[in-house]
Structure 1
């Protein structure tokens, strides 16, 4: 670009309104400065851009060709500026989150509801994924943030920030109600059909490690792809299984399922924010990150 941006900006307004005076008023400048700028532009481009008359100005053929390009470019620039202004004021923008199911129902939906009420102009994209999938999407730049459950398996390139700790309980359906009054050991679970998330999930890895620590092998009879599939499988007596306490509480209160006491302690897990500090977050993502932290009690 041989001429500077200011000259093309002046040219856009002079051509659009066919007047040096109107262009000067819009640009809060003086008419002599506007005229001088257009003389410089014509000199640098080596051609006349305007026919000057007492009634104003009209474009020469060369001016019309230039305006066809400048008008498109300037409108795009102005649209970009308006979008950035909207983003800055949180009146527009996009927030993209990868979330595991337990994190979605255990914390994220509540936070998204609060965020959406405050900033309804922000478009929200949620990818409901397993923890490994959500973390991979974050590393590949497909989402702004990941909200998942431990263990996350993240490496040193990512940062894991606990948001909420939760406990899981062992539960069974009506056919296993006789276990409700007993205190059983992990090794006794081999007697009963066990329901668990499938092997490519971090939940399976969590329980696999728990069983190994007690000299046992985790061998579920039924594997589910998502947490919300586990509850109906338990309700329909396909086996017993572990569920986050918050997810099980309503069904426990109704008597659809029964809590089974376990002699061994199930370690607490956490819903975590995972972020890539190498990537610059959008204004919307940074604001939502603040929402995640706000009034969040981190109790171990």
Structure 2
């Protein structure tokens, strides 16, 4: 498109009013400037757009065709401006959150439930990824914020802890009974169990692998799955000993559906929290969300 928006605005005003003088008053510019702009537009396009008479101007067939599209374009612009004004007035915006399916279910959704009540006009998108994938997307600026397990190094990431979690090993009473029948002693349970673990791309799995290595526990048999909920369900049907997060199996432990396996060396607790890229400009929607979770959290931010 060779013409400027101002040229089409003048053309649109003249077509609407049918009079150069009225268009000049509407646009607060001189009549000669209007006439010159229309003449230049006609020369550049190569067709006559208006028929002139003592009563004013009327569109030629070619001018009418152009007017149809210009009218649609300006109506779309006006609609966009109106929507933008309403968006600003209502505090509308967009927020994209990266999170694993498990953390979304157990931690993020309770936050969102209250956040949405306070900011109902912010559109929220959730991208389900592992902590490692979420960190990568945050660094690339493809997510606004992520709910992740605390990484060892933060680099350009601001991390705010919202919940302390504890990894434990669990199994059913029947599974432990079968191990006992095979002559497996309590202190050998992990070595002789089928371990149900998250896949190796998951930060939790990397954390547990380090624990097993430091504890000199070599797993004989491992089943890998992609999410914590599946681990819990597989543990409940006696498929093996699952490594799960205590916070997410409270009911199963309370009712005896799953039993915690005592460890000679306990697994250190860790934090889950919200993280965002400090090098990316913070939108108003993200600022609202940051202020919200910081005001709700009861966990102190580490130095």
Same fold (TM over 0.5): yes
Equivalent-residue separation in structure 2 for 1:145 and 1:215 (angstroms): 37
Match for residue 172 of structure 1? 171
Match for residue 252 of structure 2? 251
DSSP 3-state at the match of 1:262? coil
In the superposition, relative to structure 1, how do residues 46 and 18 fare at CA in structure 2: closer, same or farther (>3 Å)? closer
**Unpaired segments ≥5 residues, structure 2:** 180-185
Equivalent-residue separation in structure 2 for 1:33 and 1:51 (angstroms): 23
Structure 1 residues 48-63: aligned runs within 5 Å: 50-51=50-51, 57-60=57-60, 63=63
Equivalent-residue separation in structure 2 for 1:247 and 1:284 (angstroms): 29
**Conserved 8 A contact 1:192-1:240:** yes
Match for residue 38 of structure 2? 42
The Cα of 1:33 is off from its aligned counterpart by: 2.9
Are 2:231 and 1:236 aligned? Answer: no
User: What TM-score does the superposition give when structure 2 sets the normalisation length?
Assistant: 0.77
Q: Which stretch of the first structure deviates more once superposed, 2-11 or 122-131?
A: 2-11
**Deviation readout 1:151-193 (Å, 9 max, x if unpaired):** x4666344433332222333221315669xxxx65x6521333
User: What TM-score does the superposition give when structure 1 sets the normalisation length?
Assistant: 0.77
Structure 1 residues 1-300: aligned runs within 5 Å: 5-6=5-6, 8-16=8-16, 18=18, 30-31=25-26, 33=28, 36=31, 38-42=34-38, 44-45=40-41, 50-51=50-51, 57-60=57-60, 63-64=63-64, 66-90=66-90, 92-150=92-150, 152=151, 156-176=155-175, 188-217=189-218, 221-299=222-300
The Cα of 1:18 is off from its aligned counterpart by: 4.3
**RMSD of equivalent CA atoms:** 3.6
**Unpaired segments ≥5 residues, structure 1:** 25-29
Equivalent-residue separation in structure 2 for 1:262 and 1:170 (angstroms): 8
**Conserved 8 A contact 1:20-1:31:** no
Q: Which stretch of the first structure deviates more once superposed, 82-91 or 1-10?
A: 1-10
Q: Which stretch of the first structure deviates more once superposed, 10-19 or 220-229?
A: 10-19
Equivalent-residue separation in structure 1 for 2:282 and 2:202 (angstroms): 27
Equivalent-residue separation in structure 1 for 2:127 and 2:141 (angstroms): 13
**Deviation readout 1:51-72 (Å, 9 max, x if unpaired):** 5668764324564455345334
In the superposition, relative to structure 1, how do residues 64 and 98 fare at CA in structure 2: closer, same or farther (>3 Å)? same
In the superposition, relative to structure 1, how do residues 161 and 217 fare at CA in structure 2: closer, same or farther (>3 Å)? farther
**Conserved 8 A contact 2:190-2:219:** no
Q: Which stretch of the first structure deviates more once superposed, 279-288 or 61-70?
A: 61-70
Aligned residues: 290
Equivalent-residue separation in structure 2 for 1:112 and 1:172 (angstroms): 32
**Conserved 8 A contact 2:194-2:220:** no
Equivalent-residue separation in structure 2 for 1:233 and 1:17 (angstroms): 74
In the superposition, relative to structure 1, how do residues 62 and 108 fare at CA in structure 2: closer, same or farther (>3 Å)? same
